[in-house]
Amino acid sequence: MMNKKTSHKWVFVCLLFALLFTIVITMMIGSMGPVGGGNDGISFQAFWDVISGRDSSSAFRSIILDIRLSRIFLAGLVGISLAVAGTTMQGVFKNPMADPYIIGISSGASVGAAVSIFLDIKFDFSLPILAFLGALLAVFLVYDISRVGGKVKVETLLLSGIAMGAFLSAITSFLICMTGKQLHFLVFWLMGGLYLASWKVVATAFPPILLGTVGIFFFSRHLNVLTLGDEPALNLGIDIDRTRKILLTLTALVAGVAVAFSGIIGFVGLIMPHIMRLLVGPNHRTLLPASALAGAIFLIWADTLARTIIAPTELPVGIITALCGAPFFIYLLRKHKGGVM
């Protein structure tokens, strides 16, 4: 018992260091960075000046601290959100295939985003706000459809999530067909990316994501018991309907915000929980923070690749996450045949 606890502590120490290391290194990578900046690249000395605050005015400083660092932070936040939401959904549904989007969040957000472009609604954060509203509406509908006699069965929830997803995707496709203009932008958004990043976005996204993540963490013991199944959970004193409702709401909040600002980034929410479960076990009290950290690290690196690999053009980060994530996940599946839970 003790041995395992200490080994878990080491995993956390490593993850925290890895995150710090990731943030520092990825700050250097990119155009006008010391690494991979091509001809415009500046020296490590100049980079150090910016970090240590000696350089306080150059355009370079603004690129590093305003543009790049805010983007790294947003990537980190979105990574945390998706990983936490994915872990929670896999626990609630007792299903290894569950991801943050399983209850209709992605398809709802897509419709919201498509509507904002179709109707040409323009105000501050118009697209994220509409996407967020779309996500919440979809989750609410899915939950309501699944409710039979005041109770929600997990299987029904899963199926109505899939059905609602298909329906909403059709609406999105329809709107895309009708839009014509700015189609490119919407498709890009759908594939996921962090180009909306700014400190303002980070400041907006941070409070709800923090609230949701901490909230879910407080329910980690309940989440453990929920994975035993409905009847055992009831017999262990868990009010399953209430707990599930709270967890779904918090997940919708966290994943909804992430989707609103970054579009639909696949695979992070699906594989991070699995990888971390192999490392720290299924206990959500350790699994949730471990997944959160791993999600942040993974998405920061994925985004760094996305913005540099074919610079100056950037790739939707969803392509990178799927390209790296899927093979790695398949490797894990082959290695631990049948034992990813």
Partner 1 sequence: MRLEVEGVCFTYASSRILDNITFGVSSGEFLGVMGPNGAGKTTLLRCISNVLKPHHGTILIDKDDVKSLSRKEIAKNMGVVPQTSAIDFAFTVFDIVLMGRTPHITGMSESLKDYEITKKAMELTNTSYLSKRTFDELSGGEKQRVIIARALAQQPKILLLDEPTTHLDISCQFEILNLVKSLSTEIVVISVFHDLNLAAHYCDSLMLLKDNKIVSIGAPENVLTPANIKKVYDVDVLIKRNPFTNTPYIIPYLFPRRNKKGMTVHVICGGGSGEQLMNTLAKSHLNVTAGVLNVLDSDFETAKTLDINVIGEIPFSEITQRSYETNLDLIKKSDVVVLTDFPVGFGNLKNIEAAEKALDMGIPVIVIQTTEKRDFTNGKLKDCFARLRDKKAIFVKNVEEAFVTIGNFKGKREFNKEQREVIK
Footprint of partner 1 (CB under 8 A):
1, 4, 91, 94, 218, 221, 224-225, 227-229, 231-232, 234-239, 277, 281-283, 285, 339, 341
Q: Which is nearer to partner 1, 189 or 219 (CB)?
A: 219
Q: How far is the CB of 189 from partner 1 (least distance, A)?
A: 35
Q: Which is nearer to partner 1, 46 or 238 (CB)?
A: 238
**How far is residue 310 CA from its own chain's centroid?**
23
Give the span between the Cα atoms of 199 and 98, in whole angstroms.
31
Cβ 260 vs Cβ 128: under 8 Å: yes
CB of 326 to partner 1, least distance (A): 23
Token pair of 176 as six digits: 């895309």
Instruction: Decide if 220 contacts 284 (C-beta within 8 A).
Output: yes
Whole-angstrom distance, CA of residue 268 vs CA of residue 303:
12
We find the least distance from the C-beta atom of residue 328 to partner 1, in angstroms, to be 20
Residue 99: CB minimum distance to partner 1, A:
17
Q: Is the separation of the CB atoms in 204 and 70 below 8 Å?
A: no
Residue among 33 and 91 whose Cβ is closer to partner 1: 91
| Dihedral-angle region of residue 237 (phi above 0 means left; psi in -120 to 50 means alpha; beta otherwise) | left
Kindly tell me which of 119 and 214 has the beta carbon lying closer to partner 1. Answer: 214
Distance CA 224, CA 222 (A): 5
Say how far apart CA 78 and CA 202 lie, in whole Å.
10
Distance between CA atoms of residues 323 and 317, nearest Å: 10
CB of 201 to partner 1, least distance (A): 32
Closer CB to partner 1, 99 or 303, in the complex: 99
Min. distance of Cβ 258 from partner 1 in angstroms?
A: 25
Pairwise CA distance, residues 295 & 77, whole Å: 9
Cβ–Cβ < 8 Å for 292, 84: yes
Between 151 and 181, CB nearer to partner 1: 151
